[in-house]
Amino acid sequence: MTKAPAHRMKTTVGIIGGGPAGLLLSHLLDRAGVDSVILERQTRAYVLSRIRAGVLEQGTCDLLRAAGLGDRLDQEGLRHSGVNLAFQGKVARIDLEALTGGKVVTVYGQTKVTEDLYNARDSAGARMVHEAKDVQPHDIETEAPYLTFEHEGLAHRLDCDFIASCDGHHGIGRQMIPSSSRNEFELRYPFGWIGVLAKTPPPNEELIYASHQRGFVLCSMRSETISRYYLQAALQDTPEDWPDDRFWDELKQRLPSEVSATVIEGPSIEKSITPLRSFVSEPLSNGRMFLAGDAGHIVPPTGAKGLNLAVSDVKYLSDALIAYYRHGDETGLKSYDRLALSRVWKAARFSWHLTTLMHHFPDEGAFREKVQKAELDYLVGSKAAMTAFAENYVGLPL
């Protein structure tokens, strides 16, 4: 005989995952009077310790402000009206603001976004269960789905109307869509990134993407005093293969002299290796369960689209759920896959394009290198090409 759960809970939307996507969805629903419960596998400290990028699109910033989450963003976020492409020993600036009619990007770390969301959820008295183990969705194709999980050694059941899977690429949500109706598209790149965080001023007030025969470079920042650098590296490399001296030397070799001269070296305070891949799973829903964020798609970090895509997913899903509860309108729920995937694929295309444009592919020969150079020359020499680039970089409309 199956043992009955020790504790039974009820909510309107059960959310798997307490990262930015799950927290933002809960926040937006709460503001509209829709109840939710978040189940997170890790501790809060672990969630907040995860180091992620933080280049926010215009639409992401606008949504956060509209949701009452813009105070610290506006105080501490670094507003970037342009971005720089370096190649063949020169640097070309793309004026994002001028080319898009006033849109910009803002550098604001994902950890800060998560902190802001946690503070908002705490203030609202949100129900969040951390260290929820073995979360399992049930009956998702019925009108009475529910989630089971273990917490502090006891079994629990969470009854809900809908389930939102915001639990990342390795979460349970996507696996609940039958393989017979699930299509997965993946591209693995033949290199990774070695990333270094250092307490040194960045070499430029805006991001620099650099293409070089030795490999790609990204010069970014967390603040005006903390730099974030990435180098294209072999897939088999580890952080131990890149002591600080080697990293700084390689970084300077790959940058134009006018940029390398401004690089200030310092001891790394964090170092990591990131493999690059593009991944999209279709559909993003099954019955009354919906995927959002990394649960349904992964993009290489070159275009800084990962967190922004999670935000757009959450916007579409929250709008759909709110319309359902306010007006009994199921249109948004039925069109979620179409709306979300349309934007996902456009961002996946841009991320793939920027990755292939700026990285070195040593096994693809001289012809590819010549075409790559020609494409870069065309991009920075054509207002139309720069406008298309800028529109994608600041973010397509939500």
3-state secondary structure of 169: coil
Residue at 66 is within a domain: no
Q: In the beta sheet, which residues pair with residue 271? A: 196
User: Based on the domain organization, do 226 and 252 belong to the same domain?
Assistant: yes
336 counts as catalytic? no
The set of residues, in sequence order, having a beta carbon less than 8 Å from that of 107 and lying 6+ positions away, is: 54, 55, 56, 77, 78, 80, 207, 220, 221, 222
**pLDDT > 70? residue 280:** yes
Q: pLDDT digit string (tens) for 228-242?
A: 999 999 999 999 999
Q: Cβ neighbours of residue 34 under 8 Å, at least 6 residues apart?
A: 12, 13, 321, 322, 325
> Do the beta carbons of residue 322 and residue 33 sit within 8 Å?
no
Residue 149 lies in a domain: yes
Residues 262, 116 share a domain? no
Q: Specify the pLDDT at position 105.
A: 98
In a domain, 76, yes or no: no
Catalytic residue among 297, 305, 315, 359: 305
Note whether 172 and 223 are same-domain residues. Answer: no
Q: What average pLDDT does range 107-133 have in this prediction?
A: 96
Number of domains, the chain = 2
pLDDT at 3 over 80: no
Catalytic residue among 145, 230, 301, 359: 301
Query: Above 70 in pLDDT, residue 55?
Result: yes
* Angstrom distances, CA of residue 221 to CA of 62, 85, 200, 310: 22, 16, 9, 22
Based on the fold, state whether residues 41 and 116 are members of the same structural domain.
yes
pLDDT of residue 246: 98
Give how far the C-alpha of residue 189 lies from the chain's centroid of Cα atoms, to the nearest Å.
18
Catalytic residue among 108, 189, 229, 393: 393
Catalytic residue among 27, 80, 103, 212: 80
Predicted confidence (pLDDT) per residue in 320-375, tens digit? 999 999 999 999 999 999 999 999 999 999 999 999 999 999 889 899 999 999 99
Same domain for 174 and 323, yes or no, is yes
Instruction: Tell me: pLDDT of 2 over 60.
Output: no
Q: Which amino acid is at 81?
A: S
**Known catalytic residue at 209:** yes
Domain that holds residue 177: 7-54+109-182+283-354
The verdict on 200 and 144 lying in the same domain is: no
Which of 298, 265, 62, 272 is CA-nearest to residue 168? Answer: 298
In terms of Cβ atoms closer than 10 Å to its own Cβ (0-12, 13-18, 19+), residue 354 is: buried
DSSP state of 2: P
- For residue 4, what pLDDT band results from cuts at 50, 70 and 90? low
User: Is 199 a residue of the active site?
Assistant: no
Amino acid identity at 356: T
* CA gap 262, 242 in Å, rounded: 21
Residues 115 and 234 in one domain: no
Mean pLDDT over the full length of the chain? 96
Annotated active-site residue 80? The verdict is yes
**Is residue 1's pLDDT more than 50?**
no
Residue 50 pLDDT? 79
Q: Which of 209, 229, 230, 336 is catalytic?
A: 209
- CATH number at 251 reads 3.30.9.10
CATH code of the domain containing 173: 3.50.50.60
244 — phi, psi (to 5°)?
A: -55, -45
End-to-end CA distance of the chain: 49
- Is residue 330 a part of any domain in this protein? yes
pLDDT at 5: 55
- Strands in 133-138's sheet, in edge-to-edge order, are 7-10, 154-159, 146-151, 133-138
Predicted TM-score of the model (pTM): 0.95
Least confident of 2-16, 93-107, 327-341, 354-368: 2-16
Contact status, residue 214 vs residue 198, Cβ threshold 8 Å? no
Please indicate, yes or no, whether residues 341 and 390 belong to a single structural domain of this protein.
no
